[in-house]
Structure 1
Amino acid sequence: MFQMSQYFVVFLLFGAVNSQVNPAVCRYPLGMNGGQIQDEDISASSQWSESTAARYGRLDFDDGDGAWCPDVMAEAHSLKEFLQIDLRTLHFVTLVGTQGRHADGVGNEFAQRYRIKYSRDGTRWVSWRDRQGRQIIEGNSNAYDIVLKDLEPPIIARFVRFMPVTDPSMIVCMRVELYGCEWLDGLVSYSAPAGQQMTFRGQQIYLNDTVYDGAVSSSMAEGLGQLTDGSWGLDDFTKSQVYGVWPGYDYVGWTNASLPGGSVEMTFEFDRVRNFTSMKVHCNNMYAWGVKMFRQAVCSFRSDADWEPNPVFFKPKADSISPSARFITVALGNRMASAIRCRFAFSDIWMMFSEIAFQSDTAVYNTSLVPRKRNQAPVDDPTHKIDDSSTRILIGCLVAIIAILLAIIIIILWRQVWQKMIEKASRRMLDDELAVRLSVQREAFVHRSSSLSSDVESTSTYERIFPLGSDYQEPSQLLRKLPEFQAMENLAMIDGASEPSPAQGTDEAPHYAEADIPGAHSYRVTVVNMPLSPGRDGALEEFPRDRLTFKEKLGEGQFGEVHLCEAEGMQEFMKDHCDDICVDPMLVAVKTLREDADKNARNDFMKEIRIISRLRDPNIIRLLAVCVESDPLCMITEYMENGDLNQFLSRHQLQEDGVQADSTSISYGTLINMASQISSGMKYLSSLNFVHRDLATRNCLVGMNNIIKIADFGMSRNLYRGDYYRIQGRAVLPIRWMSWESILLGKFTMASDVWAFGVTLWEILTLCKEQPYAQFTDEQVIENTGEFFRDQNKQVYLLRPACCPESLYSLMLNCWRRNAKERPTFLEIHSTLTEQHD
């Protein structure tokens, strides 16, 4: 029944298009390997023989002679030979894979380098270039390994050509795959004035559309670029999430003085007539620097040869309070069109966009709905006449089906509501019992009963695991990618792990993407009801909102934000641990819950407050106060003067022996002391049976005298979006820090935190100059975890940092042992690091 209800929802939404593609999620194979791309859609400029024709150029296939091989290459750097793939519809392509010839191990032909050309209509071809303007892609070094290359920027195309570039003396053979997803926007080009250049504080800011693939002069025409690349700019337009680019790279911007009429006109062309519901425009709003979101948008529509006379007007609410960049949704009123022309009016000196996306429904209509010119008579075309009796019968059947399915849905929802009411009543009874039992001995947190776990998922910072067995097991449905896992349903017995108990569930394992409060994305809480009483321990007192001064937005999530603020008079709330170093105003981090958050998110937010208020350790960020008497709900935590450890270390160099220290250098002893402090904080958490799940330098804050405190802000920050791997739009996983059993089995224990600590220690000793496994793509990182599972000595470890002695590298390798029980405890790690520091 539930599946029928799902089909009904899909039926109601049939034709609805969900746009604003996410490149981190849009990485699915498009069908060369899986066979969805048919032989007739694969062509080539030439072939060496019939057995090396284009249809044999499928990644990881060995049909024919095991690859596509063109005729002899004419000359070096020749672009005459190509393998072409027709995807039938427009696709957003983010990744390509290549491989040499199989030939039962006899062939040794591969493409060392290649280029890519693409087209949306089959007539106009564009050469792909990376963000630095390079066209050549490094390919394979042997005939059997698969080499995956991210396309930065992604391409939007129907036709894609792989064009080998090699020495003419070499015979080239290729097997390929494309990765991405369907381009649901349907946008084939946008035209606009060319982006302009700004001089800001003596610095040149280039606001041109760098990756635009159309014609560019004083204006841009017939192309797509940064406004459709699936990523949007930071609040500060002078900074970028892309490394090695110039200031202003993420935005396309215009100045009011250079354009007549005080507006920017943009025209958007689509693949067909669509029914448009809305347009989302990502705008910068650094109003203090003369940059504001648009004052008004006026959009006209064209579904035939002429533009319709009645445009849509939209005025966003002006905002001179928050400098945050944001998406503005322009309602388009279900207008039918194949092209849209919008004029965006300036609100200030500058206007900057970084992304534009459209939401539309499939345009299905008969002649009575086709727009026609004024005073034009309907066309008497027999092919468009409708049989009224058949239409009435069809409508009657559809109404009957909808009525039946609605009744089924109502029954299902009623049963679910009734079941939840019973479960909530049971939970209240259990909470009361646990609160009484624990109040005498100590304040702690316990694992809730099995029948309740699936309904009590929240977004707290840490998770406590109740040591009923040898370890804690959470079956995962996310990463069963390796062949060894495709047919296995019960993997909990590996390495002596006990079978999942009913308390652990099987279908609703908590995953990263299910957490909505920023800074607390990773964890589920199972906790007794602890009253939130102002004044108790001074930690949960209500703090006056008017004493908070906004400084900077640290990050955001679906249901909240994290802000850096100054708090006046915080000493009154810190009497038990405020000493001479307390200053007024004090720098704090403020987590807020948006007012439109649902009831579950609000409950989870309050649970997180109760948990953090109980944590007392010099190396754990402390909750100082709350604002919960009115919306938005806020929790106020410590923030350290020097920001997070990742950014702090990346600004420093290792102090050389015999060289006097300065502000840009840091000593080896200081690095070990920092690592020792992190292990001390984790020792405290593990003593309470808490699992952090996201231990990394980005989640450690640095204070005066290099004091380190463990926090959890990393995932909410755009700066670290590249550290998290998105799975099918749901899970967000820091796979480069995760143990193999966490990735493949969904197991999170203190031992998996030890693994993450080993990676964190590696970050510290490399001064965060590069990402862990920087030479690997995300998919290759996942494949490497499979080698840990197979345990055939093929797994790749992080290399020993230059300043790291063998004894300390041995500690890292122990943290990465395959058998979780053989990894050291945090008590042992802290003892070892203390000895190293001494």
Structure 2
Amino acid sequence: IFRAFTLPLIQDEDISASSQWSESTAARYGRLDFEEGDGAWCPEITVEPDSLKEFLQIDLRSLHFITLVGTQGRHAGGIGNEFSQMYKIKYSRDGSRWISWRNRQGKQVIEGNRNAYDIVLKDLEPPIIARYVRFMPVTDHSMNVCMRVELYGCEWLDGLVSYNAPVGEQMSLPALPAYFNDSVYDGAVIHRCGLGQLTDGVCGLDDFTHSHVYNVWPGYDYVGWTNESFPSGYVEIMFEFDRTRNFTTMKVHCNNMPSRHAKAFRQVVCYFRSEADWEAAPLAFGPAEDEENPGARFVTVNLANRMASAIKCQFHFADAWMLFSEITFQSGRDRSTVYTAMYNTTLAPPKTGLPPNIQPDDSNTRILIGCLVAIIFILVVIIVIILWRQVWQKMLEKASRRMLDDELTASLSIQSETFAYTHNQSSTISEQESNSTYERIFPLGPDYQEPSRIICKLPEFAQSLEEPGRIPSPSLITSSKSTAAAAAAAVQDGAPHYAEADIVNLQGVTGGNTYAIPALAMDLLSGKDVAVEEFPRKMLTFKEKLGEGQFGEVHLCEAEGMQEFMNKEFLFDIPEDQPVLVAVKMLRSDADKNARNDFLKEIKIMSRLKDPNIIRLLAVCIYSDPLCMITEYMENGDLNQFLSRHEPEGQLAVLSNAPTVSFNSLCYMAAQIASGMKYLSSLNFVHRDLATRNCLVGKNYTIKIADFGMSRNLYSGDYYRIQGRAVLPIRWMSWESILLGKFTTASDAWAFGVTLWEILNFCKEQPYSQLTDEQVIENTGEFFRDQKRQIYLPQPVLCPDSLYKIMLSCWRRNTKERPSFQEIHRALLEMQP
């Protein structure tokens, strides 16, 4: 049900502009057919050709589906005669990334007004889904312009904010080839997260070779793929929604032309994610085949009322080609909202009554009121049930925690001279007063500590050690000798000296700073000035948002004139007159004092990291808010996405015409990562989040280690959230990091082994993909017990035995037996020709 909205329903504060002539030509006067003030919005300066600095902006407060726009000039009762002959539209869903609207032929400029009086309405084909809309006047010569505008459409009730699908492909036809690319997709090129033809409300024709409706190429209506490009036999599309919803059905409009070997999907397997974790049990659905009635059709998939904020669907091929033109979702929230819209489509009280010969039907009114009352009653019952279930679950959790605390009568006793946070004899009283088992068991790294939920997987960790020369707290009970010996071996297991000293944990813009720096190293750094310069903000051009964290955001920008601000020792391979691609970490202006101090400390630390395989800090913006640090960014993005778009050299790559990476190049990239980690380990820095998502790729397979993978929604599935607090990359973490909270160079070596496994699998699979997060944690317990029941990552197909031995050595239980990064780097260099 479409519900129109117009600017008179929008509040004045939701209409803004880049500038204005005077108070009487402010943005709020830019309403269509509205004669208040001086009769329109007028920018302060004359609009120049090819200048898009002036705009009128509307904030719709929520996502809307916009299909029509209207414009008008300013006549002000004959006093004015200003109008815009042409204009462009930009829109945004989040207020940070702006997208230029293009019609189906790729044209951006829209024809506007020819005089100051008439209203000109233009259909937006394709329509847009946006919260913010900007009208930007365009001229072919210098002139004064004024505008009044209006939008038409409805609220976007689907809740779908983006989808991520493989790029469409080309089919060879006798006359013209059919292009099944998503030509109106508005997602970022790097991440492909946006909306396009699958959500534009237009269904494809039965015969996709006759796309004459829009005077475009054959196949325009569809996004399609051939099974030759997908060895797995399916195409995976991920849908992200604005909030967790109760999904009932998914409707997929598919082409069905057996003569062209195009059919609807044979089966779809859907995975659901409600918070940060994907549910273990997917939903499978197979539509009934209809060979007798060729033609495009909707296939309805029953989603069985699954709760999710994201859905990942794997569509399996039924023939050589699979073509989709529209995918929509229905949820319980959608139905209730649509019902309300059906009975609230009148935007204002009618100006006149009903004609005398047309009277309302009282019987129908009573039926509608009865249905409405029944629906409200059902909704109230459902809400009461949901609230009761939540209260009951909380009661059960509290009871289980009390039982667990009773069972966990002791914690690991750590020698007071080993860890900075352990208590001595004088602190036994404060330890008695603390009821946090979680804090006592994990003395290091609060951002990476795990509560008793994980500890209960390993009952032996819930018992205490009685050590010579240490007086146990009165609240602790001595454990059995066998468990004490095992835990003592774990604690004394070869952790490097520096990682057991004070650790400086910085809260960067992404939440937890990647590099863990021993206090001694921090003291050495604190006496030096920051060796980077202040960079003018106006020379930064926003490209896209890379991610966000607890205290700020990471943006991809272009920096003009960056070469002038760099030391001579740092050389760009980009000419001075061209902008440089950079990543900008920006601290939110409302961040607290501690976060600001940590941000400045991180700048000081990053300024000292100078290695060819570590991302460099180039400049800063710290003279005014928001505080920013500008770092390198490589043009090929992160290593995970780079490798996932490539294939190993071989016959399969030749058939699929996919870009390839040789085995030697893979080893070269791995050696660079080892070299960068060798440099960090020489400074006693612990990375704590080494993975392909945190490695950037430049020209000629150049690799540089970065630190903002955690902030990106693209990789939220790689992190395990602890009851809404910290997040852990558990599939890359060593057993002692998960169970003991210990992060050392040895634990970084473990993560390097997992990263090497990712590289040789071309990042096509998540580590331990066959295990749930809970099973991964249980597997770390098997490493601790060391009873030969632990599960190792399997040897990749492309991986020779010598390289797999390096991985296995990184995953040794005893940290002293794991290789150093110097040894790893040397071994990888020896494997290269």
TM-score normalized with structure 1 length: 0.45
TM-score normalized with structure 2 length: 0.46
